[in-house]
Structure 1
Amino acid sequence: MYLRTTQRKNKDGSVTKYYQLAHNVRHPETKRTTAKIIHSFGRADELDRDELVRLCRSIARVCGVEVIDPLDAACSKGGLPADVKILRTLEYGTVRVIAELWEQLGIGKVIREATHDKGVDYDKAILAMVANRLCCPESKLVVWERWLNTVYLPECGHFKLRQLYEAMDILHENAEEIEKQIFHQVANLLNLSVDIIFYDTTTASFSIDYEDEDDGLRQYGHAKEGFWAPQIIVALAVTREGIPVKSWVFPGNTADVSTVETIKKDLRGWNLGRALFVADSGMNSTDNRTELAKACGTYLLATRMASVSEVKQTVLSTPGRFREISESLQAKEVLLENGKRYILCYNPKEAKRQALHREELVAMLEEEISKHKDRKINNKWAIELLASRRFKRYLTITGHDTIRIDRKAIKEAAKYDGKWVLETNDKNISVEDAACGYRGLMVIERCFRSLKKTQIKMMPMYHWLPNRIESHVKICVLALLIERVAELTCDKPWRKIRLVLSKIQATEFATPGHHFYQLNELPIGAKFTME
């Protein structure tokens, strides 16, 4: 049964509509369905609308549903009673998942125990700042002034700006114990394997004209992005799953190789068991290897192939077949007479890519040099080529002060295509595990990308006090911890998780006697994400 609309065209060209209550019946002979008119309501332009509404409501009562007339004076605000007001709509999904993980991972409990005698729920203040890094990274001022008013975090909405800064100071005072307890709780909860610790450093620069005094953190240094600026060094140790173990902040002029002693000392009391320390070639120095080897410590370090003589002359030229580990990874072991153990790795696909890239560069050089008859090095074009990071390694200067392509350097560079060398003091680790373990170092690179660029955006930093700078970094690392746990749980990148969760909104309503919230319908994928 349905409401049927028919129309008739009048002589003057106008159209008259009629409403009829009808239902379909099947003709006994033709077996075709035809509409049977039960009742005619008459012309649409002469219809009493209220009668139709009353009919709808009488049918609705029988069916147990409610009919709301949007034109009813008693329901003048989009179908709501007149005394119900819509106050605002808040983002709900992302912040509530973050708050739930905050408690499930025991982060809130650890911070509460460290600040229980302070009289203020500083753990909630830190939660607000961590949640902001994962949603819409802003300064602490913006978090307090605007952002908390756009999300559903009622437990964090009462803080004053000074209390956010106080929470940062308390976090700094208790950072060592808080980080240790949080990591062990997360490791136990997620049953993490802590047999391999990946370590690396990155830089975080500041938009200031002068570095700090001697005891300050913001010192001039060469940033990872390639420019010279006041900066700090941020060091990070993570598990093979990318779960942060601990973070450190060093002055911006600190060399990477000088940080290992501090790292080893800080982790010594963490009871990590037999942990293999994996780091890039920037950490490989005689002092660092000695420090890492103390107390039977094991390490797996990349080695600079072109600058270490025994690697360049012996390891790369030692005969022996590579063992195929995967389609893009081959490796072989090289044991030297001095007791050192090296793992020579080779990626055939990367070797082809590097060879092709070098051929293109050499072709560009040949074309550029052929354009000039005068090839003296004091020409502008020659100076630019010799200063170029792309081309200078394949150029040389003759005895007549002219520029030419260095064919010997090109041949020498081909020896390193697709290869990297690892040095380890672990006599028990297999060649396969060593090669795959080092490839896992890319997980920390991904963590740094999230910290600095894609999600958490550690920069820009608006702090200048050393303790506030360190606290800001710790807050960003806590955000990284929650991000990685969410990604491992959902098997999706945080960007996609956030996209789904951000669609879950809470609308605040008010009546003369009550305030209440109503969630919108869950978007596709939200149920899976939140489980």
Structure 2
Amino acid sequence: MQVIYNFGRDDASNRQALLRLAASVVKILDPAQLLDVTADGLEFVDSRPFGAVWALDGLWRQLELDGTFRRMRRDGALDPAAERVLFALVAGRALAGSADPPAEVARWVNEDVFVDGLPATTENDCQKVTEWLCEVSGRLQEEVFHRVADRLGLEADLLFFESAHGALPPDLGLDGDEDPQGAGTTGFQALAPPGCHEAHQSVIGLAVTRSGIPLRVWRWPGCADDAAMIRQAREDMKGWTLSRVVRTADRGCPVAAGRCALHKDDDHHYIVGAKLRSGSAEADAALSRQGRYHRAAANLRVKEVHIAADERFVICCDTRTAQRDAEVRTRLVEELSALIDDTDRLSLADRTDLHLEIAAHPRMRRYLRLTPGGLLRIDVKAVKTEENLDGKYLVRTTDPELPAEEIALGYMRLLETERGWRDLLAGLRRLQTQGEPGGRGHLLLTWLSLLLVRVAESRTGLPWSRLRRELDRIKLGTFAARTSVLRQRTEITEEQYGLLAALGLAPPPRIVQSTSPDG
């Protein structure tokens, strides 16, 4: 058969010939001419980080938080785009810093990133969503709890309850105790007893699962009783299918000094860190006990020792922390050696002055020894003692049921959420010029942000700082022509494909958006 004339049929052989012809033409054009020919004057006008926002948005939709907020929005008078504004506020906490006022968040969305479904927003829209968030706080947290627990299959029968103290301005009252006109005493000052110097302090409480996912946040006055906080947490979470709430506290938290007060109520079990270097009888006894370590995680080994009848003690050894401790000690000993080198030739008065100067350094002085003759030496015995403590810490608890591995992992959740505490407290201090709704709104937004971040960290096993840095290398370029606007992402590397797969997310499409100037 011979084709005399083709009336428009897409013939495969002719198509291949056209492709070969186009490739030949490209070879003789420079890049500028090629852009003009292929895109009718296409210009590269903008580039923004895209990968981290895409990942957070994907997790937001995976957990069905978008649908949850859309259903709750129907009860209010919010714009249909309010859910996208809310996501932008939450993502801004993870990517643009904490406690950004609505104007900064709006500018960040409009100028610095690309949020799918939200080409632009305003300060007024951000403020409205924040105020609405405060109004539905209790219902919101319960809805998110059930949604996240179902989607992630969390072991929600046990929550670790943690708290942190920090100074707050006096005009930020407790949730539900607002006095915007300044008439009377409300908020922290109303709940504080007369003369309480902690009236302007705040205690931030966070309930997290055994896998470190935060599910609820509270705030109390700084002088609130520990047992009272636990009771309120249990009351607020009544009906959440929880069997136990365990108070978890760091070594420097006031609960460590008030363990006996906490244990008066048998339901208020605690997990508290104890300093191995404190020289206490418990620490010395725990270190002297013989026993074999058991692996609790890839980098964590634990050993339970029996010291007291009413408490359980677990020695934990973190291999990553041990390596870091060794590196820090080596550096300190080298610096100390350089300081005391050739000091034998100095006068006694000069050596005394140097000894006092080094003694003021809390981490370096432990490795310094002063001989009977007044000479400065490295304390080899102290160095050896510190080597035996590398990466180790002691955890004590009253819970009779938790396995030793879960006790250690529960305490480690504190280390993983310390960044969130710093963001919460630093952000609240920045809100001194705002009213109480701003303070509550910041807590709720940071909690939602921390929720997404912890899900990402638990799935990938990487800290958020590294995840964000790698994902933000995926950029979104904007190209404009006379007839259209095109947004295209950069090529995705093998490592970025792996991170997205670990998060359970598909990579973003190569062409993210293509529109005409008229929209």
- The verdict on a shared fold, with TM-score over 0.5 as the criterion, is yes
- Structure 1 counterpart of 2:408: 438
The 1-side partners of 2:493 and 2:286 are apart by: 55
Look up the SS of the partner of 1:302 in the other structure.
Answer: strand
Which whole-Å CA distance do the structure 2 matches of 1:216 and 1:371 have between them?
62
Q: CA deviation at 1:127?
A: 0.9
Q: Does 1:185 align with 2:143?
A: no
Question: How many residue pairs get matched?
Answer: 441
For structure 2, the residue ranges without an aligned partner over 5 or more in a row are 1-12, 175-187, 189-199, 507-519
Match among 407, 414, 439 for residue 469 of structure 1: 439
The residue that corresponds to 1:486 in the other structure is 456
User: Hey, what's the Cα distance between the residues in 2 that align with 1:405 and 1:200?
Assistant: 43
Q: What is the letter of the counterpart of residue 133 of structure 1?
A: R
Over 3 Å counting, the alpha-carbon distance change for 1:241 and 1:458 in structure 2 is: farther
After superposition, what is the alpha-carbon deviation per residue over 1:396-439, rounded to whole angstroms, capped at 9, x for unaligned?
Answer: 999xxx999999x95997698355332222223444x25xx325
- How many angstroms apart in 2 are the aligned matches of 1:425 and 1:231? 28
Residue matched to 1:6 = none
C-alpha distance 461-356 of structure 1, shift in aligned 2 (>3 A): closer
Deviating more after overlay: 190-199 vs 478-487? 190-199
Q: Distance in 1 between matches of 2:60 and 2:462?
A: 19
Aligned-pair Cα RMSD in Å: 5.2
Q: Distance in 1 between matches of 2:469 and 2:332?
A: 41
| 2:428 is aligned with 1:428 | no
2:477 paired with 1:523: no
Question: Are residues 404 and 521 of structure 1, via their aligned partners in 2, closer, same or farther at CA, if it must alter by over 3 Å?
Answer: closer
Among candidates 306, 315, 325, match of residue 334 of structure 1: 306
Question: Who is 1:322 aligned against?
Answer: 291
C-alpha distance in 2, partners of 1:127/1:262? 30
1:50-82 deviation digits (Å, cap 9, x = unpaired): xxxxxxxxx96563548497889xx99622464
Aligned mate of 1:247, from 191, 206, 217: 217
Q: 1:116 aligns with which of 44, 57, 74?
A: 74
Same amino acid, percent of matched pairs:
20
Write the distance in 1 (CA, Å) between the matches of 2:117 and 2:330.
58
Equivalent residue for 1:265?
232
Of 277, 298, 321, which residue of structure 1 is paired with 2:269? 298
CA distance in 1, matches of 2:386, 2:274: 18
Aligned residue in 1 for 2:515: none
The CA deviation at 1:154 is 5.6
Question: Matches of residues 160-199 of structure 1 in structure 2 within 5 Å?
Answer: 160-194=122-156, 197-199=159-161
**C-alpha separation in 2, matches of 1:77 and 1:312:** 71
Q: Is the 8 A contact 1:133 1:457 kept in 2?
A: no
The code of the aligned residue for 1:106 comes to E
In the TM superposition, residue 444 of structure 1 has moved relative to its aligned partner by 3.7
More helix by share: 2
CA distance in 1, matches of 2:377, 2:445: 51
Match in the other structure for 1:212? 169
Q: For residues 498 and 361 of structure 1, do their structure 2 counterparts lie closer, same or farther at Cα, with a shift above 3 Å needed?
A: closer
Report the Cα offset of residue 506 of structure 1.
5.6
Q: Distance in 2 between matches of 1:85 and 1:424?
A: 64
CA contact (8 A) 1:106 1:185 kept: yes
Q: Secondary structure at 1:296's aligned position in 2?
A: coil
Residues 183 and 244 of structure 1 are in contact (CA less than 8 Å); yes or no, is this contact kept in structure 2? no
Residue 89 (structure 2) pairs with residue 129 (structure 1): yes
Q: Give the whole-Å Cα distance in 1 for the aligned partners of 2:170 and 2:149.
A: 39
Deviation at 1:86, TM superposition (A): 6.9
Alpha-carbon offset, residue 97 of structure 1: 3.6
Q: Which moved more, 1:194-203 or 1:277-286?
A: 194-203
CA distance change for structure 1 residues 182 and 347 in 2, over 3 Å: closer, same or farther? closer
- 2:51–2:472: 8 Å Cα contact kept in structure 1? yes
SS of the aligned residue for 1:505 comes to strand
Sort the Cα spacing of 1:359 and 1:335 in 2 relative to 1 into closer, same or farther, 3 A: same
Report which of the two has the higher share of strand.
1
Letter paired with 1:524: T
In the other structure, the counterpart of 1:311 is: 282
Query: How far apart, in 2, do the equivalents of 1:357 and 1:527 lie?
Result: 38
Partner in structure 1 of residue 362 of structure 2: 389
Which residue pairs with 2:37 in the alignment? 79
2:67, 2:203 → 1: CA distance?
Answer: 30
Secondary structure, aligned partner of 2:36? coil
- 1:334-413 equivalent positions in 2, closer than 5 A: 334-336=306-308, 339-345=310-316, 350=322, 353=326, 370=344, 373-375=347-349, 381=354, 383-391=356-364
Cα 1:451–1:89 shift into 2, 3 Å: farther
Query: 1:14 aligns to what?
Result: none
> Do 2:276 and 2:284's aligned partners in 1 also have CA atoms closer than 8 Å?
no
Q: CA deviation at 1:314?
A: 5.1
Q: Distance in 1 between matches of 2:471 and 2:72?
A: 34
The one-letter amino acid paired with 1:212 is P
Q: Is the 8 A contact 1:144 1:161 kept in 2?
A: yes
Conservation of the 8 A alpha-carbon contact between 1:279 and 1:300 = yes
SS at 1:343's partner residue?
strand
Structure 2 contact 479–485 (Cα < 8 Å) conserved: yes
CA shift at 1:301, angstroms?
1.9
Q: CA deviation at 1:126?
A: 1.7
Q: Distance in 2 between matches of 1:164 and 1:102?
A: 18
